[in-house]
């Protein structure tokens, strides 16, 4: 296993970028963390790398540029086809492999089973990167089913699960159900921060994200 985490989600727009930034803030001061989003669609105007750089400013973590960038805000396989391209996983896998001392926080695009090309899904990229998954999940109605399905799909592929971060208004019942039926640690409940500033995120991280330090086993 490579040292690091892959932030996937139960859906698109669920909060993977903010969760990724929160992980950098949480552990960037003690470990040589490096954030990277290997595949991004809808660029511009979407730029998750720039948003992580803004939110994690001062964390001590490095935010890496580069990767596949495609203009249409659709699934990677479709965005690539519209651009007359095919996404090749080999160069994406080679980058972390070439920097073995870094601890990676890699953010996926969309959910776990989003297609990347004709043959590969986002789950295949996680497996080839040899990273444990952190699942970003909504806190609202429907999250139990979506989260349990994502966890089941990860485990069916023998991909290690580091935990779940729930995003939205805290819901004790949903958290307890995900913990119990998903047999997983809920590492934190990230509320909607308005405004979403580096200071507000850092204030939540100090007490709200992985207070027991359970993620160190995947990063140290």
Query: 16-27 vs 198-208: helix axis angle to the nearest 10?
Result: 70
Angle at 125 between CA 121 and CA 127, to 5 degrees: 110
Active site residue 37: yes
**Residue 78: per-residue pLDDT:** 98
Other C-beta atoms within 10 Å of 90: how many? 7
Sign of CA dihedral 146, 204, 21, 47: positive
Task: Give residue-wise pLDDT tens across range 102-128.
Answer: 999 999 999 999 999 999 999 999 999
**With contact defined as beta carbons under 8 Å apart, do 146 and 182 qualify?**
no
Candidate list 2, 16, 37, 53, residue with the active-site label:
37
Show the domains of the chain with their CATH numbers: 4-39+46-65+93-209 (3.40.50.300)
For residue 91, name the pLDDT band (cuts at 50, 70, 90).
very high
Q: What is the pTM of this model?
A: 0.97
The model's pLDDT over 2-22, given as tens digits with 9 standing for 90+, comes to 999 999 999 999 999 999 999
Is beta strand 68-70 parallel, antiparallel or unpaired with respect to 132-138?
A: unpaired
């Amino acid at each position: 296993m490579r040292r690091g985490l892959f932030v996937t989600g139960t859906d698109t727009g669920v909060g993977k970028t903010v969760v990724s930034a929160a992980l950098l803030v949480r552990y960037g001061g003690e470990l040589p963390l490096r954030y990277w989003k290997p595949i991004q669609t809808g660029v511009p105007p979407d730029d998750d790398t720039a948003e992580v750089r803004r939110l994690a400013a001062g964390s001590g973590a490095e935010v890496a540029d580069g990767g596949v960038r495609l203009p249409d805000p659709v699934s990677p396989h479709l965005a690539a086809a519209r651009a007359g391209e095919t996404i090749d996983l080999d160069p994406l896998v080679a980058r972390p492999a070439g920097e073995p001392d870094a601890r990676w926080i890699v953010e996926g695009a969309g959910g776990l089973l989003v297609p990347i090309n004709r043959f590969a899904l986002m789950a295949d990229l996680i497996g080839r990167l040899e990273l444990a998954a952190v699942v970003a999940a909504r806190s609202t109605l429907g999250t139990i089913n979506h989260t349990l399905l994502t966890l089941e799909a990860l485990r069916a592929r023998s991909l290690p699960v580091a935990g779940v971060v729930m995003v939205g208004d805290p819901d004790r019942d949903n958290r307890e159900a995900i913990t119990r039926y998903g047999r997983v640690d809920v590492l934190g409940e990230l509320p909607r921060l308005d405004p979403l500033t580096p200071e507000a995120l850092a204030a939540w991280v100090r007490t709200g994200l992985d207070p027991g330090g359970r993620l160190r086993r995947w990063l140290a």
